[in-house]
């Protein structure tokens, strides 16, 4: 049986790259593990008057290159090892994107679909107040992730601000609402960055028989923030979004779906299922559809040893974190299907988080054009840096991305020296 523990997977990916890095064994051992794992068990008074106990985590993996940075996830499947994996992926992601942050991640074990707004707010406030000064504008900066959004970030800001008076606290969290120090282009940044990568991959000739996103057949697995906007941007670039899925199921329309209308449908009905003009598909089947570009945009462990042989995409672009397992990576590589790895493909989110943080510190608000222009440049540079390494050293792209990240993190650590 394949080991699907996300932290074991992160360590396997790391090991595949670490052997190419010239750094001391001790330093490489240190980077395998997070610096600090915080676990909090806390009570929350529910709407019906009962008290429920929730478990939350904040894992700080590494801050050699800058403050810890990473989202907070609300999901029933959150585990300590998942958050540890996600935190380490943030370290490598911020290094690949070349932004001055380290890596962290947070999570609360809960089912947001069964919580009222008031309950989510209480969970958020209690979680943040118990983290206390473990987070901070120059220490560790949370952001949105699965089932958290700008509203959640407003509560995080408010809670921190109420307990840390007399300083500019806007940069303590990113992905905030526009009216409260958020940045133009942040909500769509993960998807934008992912589509920029797909366009670069096509331009670089990596997608067999495809010369432009216009006319390409795209499949999106997961129709949340990253997936829905990725579908929208692909559609606007002339691609045909032939299928999309969410946790309730999938829809197929070989002539192409209109993502705008699909978003409206999902907002109204709670799922993509039942979209007029589409046929129903099993959630797992979307991954096996014949298409040009497959965008996994949901959770970890979607393309595994069990289905990698059946993937019929010409390119996989990982908008989600950790959707492909190491065994599946080997299969896809052998079959000549390039994967744009998560720590590159979804790096647009944290990149615009960085721009938001800079705007908050400088008390500025940039327009959308400026943000997008900067994001495009960052994505294009990171994409070619990764794929140049992949080509020159004959590595699969994920290992190439790790090599780039590890080089940057170990270099900075050596420059700083080990304290004391
Ligand atoms: N949760 C997002 C990610 O996995 C964004 C993190 C951030 O903006 O700090 O990259």
Per residue of the chain (420 residues), give pLDDT as tens. Answer: 999 999 999 999 999 999 999 999 999 999 999 999 999 999 999 999 999 999 999 999 999 999 999 999 999 999 999 999 999 999 999 999 999 999 999 999 999 999 999 999 999 999 999 999 999 999 999 999 999 999 999 999 999 999 999 999 999 999 999 999 999 999 999 999 999 999 999 999 999 999 999 999 999 999 999 999 999 999 999 999 999 999 999 999 999 999 999 999 999 999 999 999 999 998 889 999 999 999 999 999 999 999 999 999 999 999 999 999 999 999 999 999 999 999 999 999 999 999 999 999 999 999 999 999 999 999 999 999 999 999 999 999 999 999 999 999 999 999 999 999
Same domain, 45 and 160: yes
Measured at the CA of 159, the angle between CA 351 and CA 161, to 5 degrees, comes to 75
Report d(CA 357, CA 360) in Å as an integer.
Answer: 5
Selecting among 93, 105, 176, 314, the annotated active-site residue is 105
Q: What is the pTM of this model?
A: 0.98
Q: Residue 38 belongs to a domain with what CATH number?
A: 3.40.50.10860
Q: What is the count of structural domains for the chain? A: 2
Q: What is the domain range of residue 285?
A: 189-337
For residue 287, whether the previous peptide bond is cis, meaning omega lies within 30 degrees of 0, is no
Same domain, 283 and 196: yes
Whether 205 is covered by a domain: the verdict is: yes
Question: Any idea which residue has 């945009």 for tokens?
Answer: 297
Reduce the DSSP state of residue 332 to 3 states and report it.
helix
Same domain, 198 and 331: yes
Whether 208 is covered by a domain: the verdict is: yes
User: What is each CA distance from 88 to 41, 55, 79, 369, 409, in whole angstroms?
Assistant: 23, 20, 14, 31, 12
Best residue for ligand 1 mutational test, from 93, 139, 144 (most atoms within 8 Å of Cβ): 144
105 catalytically annotated: yes
Measured at the CA of 145, the angle between CA 75 and CA 153, to 5 degrees, comes to 105
Q: Which of 313, 337, 361 is the last residue of a domain?
A: 337
Dihedral pair phi/psi, residue 180, rounded to 5°: -125, 50
Q: Is 300 left (phi over 0), alpha (psi -120 to 50) or beta?
A: beta
Q: Please give the distance, rounded to the nearest whole angstrom, from the Cα atom of residue 337 to the centre of ligand 1.
A: 26
Whether 380 is covered by a domain: the verdict is: no
């Amino acid at each position: 049986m394949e080991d699907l523990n996300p932290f074991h997977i992160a360590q396997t990916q790391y090991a595949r790259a670490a052997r190419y890095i010239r750094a001391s064994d001790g330093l490489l051992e240190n980077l395998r593990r997070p610096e600090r794992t915080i676990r909090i068990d806390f009570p929350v008074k529910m709407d019906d008057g009962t008290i429920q106990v929730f478990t939350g985590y904040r894992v700080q993996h590494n801050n050699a290159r800058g403050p810890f940075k990473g989202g907070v996830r609300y999901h029933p499947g959150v585990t300590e090892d998942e958050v540890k994996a996600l935190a380490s992926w943030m370290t490598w992601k911020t290094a690949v994107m070349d932004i001055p942050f380290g890596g962290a991640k947070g999570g609360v074990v809960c089912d947001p679909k069964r919580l009222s707004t008031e309950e989510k707010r209480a969970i958020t406030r209690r979680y943040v107040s118990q983290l206390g000064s473990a987070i901070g504008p120059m220490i560790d900066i949370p952001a949105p992730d699965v089932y958290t959004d700008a509203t959640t970030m407003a509560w995080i800001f408010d809670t921190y601000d109420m307990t840390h008076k007399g300083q500019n606290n806007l940069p303590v969290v990113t992905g905030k609402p526009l009216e409260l120090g958020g940045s133009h282009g942040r909500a769509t940044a993960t998807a934008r960055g992912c589509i920029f990568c797909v366009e670069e991959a096509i331009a670089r000739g990596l997608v067999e028989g495809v010369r432009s996103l216009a006319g390409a057949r795209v499949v999106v697995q997961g129709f949340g923030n990253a997936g829905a906007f990725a579908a929208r941007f692909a559609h606007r670039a002339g691609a045909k979004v032939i299928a999309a899925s969410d946790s309730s199921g999938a829809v197929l329309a070989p002539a192409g779906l209109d993502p705008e209308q699909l978003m409206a449908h999902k907002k109204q009905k709670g799922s993509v299922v039942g979209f007029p003009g589409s046929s129903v598909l099993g959630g797992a089947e979307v991954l096996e559809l014949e298409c040009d570009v497959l965008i996994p945009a949901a959770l970890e462990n979607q393309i595994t040893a069990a289905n990698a042989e059946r993937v019929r995409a010409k390119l996989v672009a990982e908008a989600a974190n950790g959707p492909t397992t190491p065994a599946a990576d080997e299969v896809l590589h052998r079959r000549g299907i390039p994967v744009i790895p998560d720590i590159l493909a979804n790096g647009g989110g944290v990149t615009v988080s960085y721009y938001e943080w800079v705007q908050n510190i400088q008390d500025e608000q940039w327009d959308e054009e400026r943000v997008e222009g900067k994001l495009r440049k960052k994505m294009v540079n990171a994409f070619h840096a990764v794929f140049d390494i992949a080509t020159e050293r004959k590595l699969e792209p994920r290992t190439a991305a790790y090599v780039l990240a590890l080089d940057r993190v170990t270099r900075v650590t050596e420059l700083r020296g080990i304290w004391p």
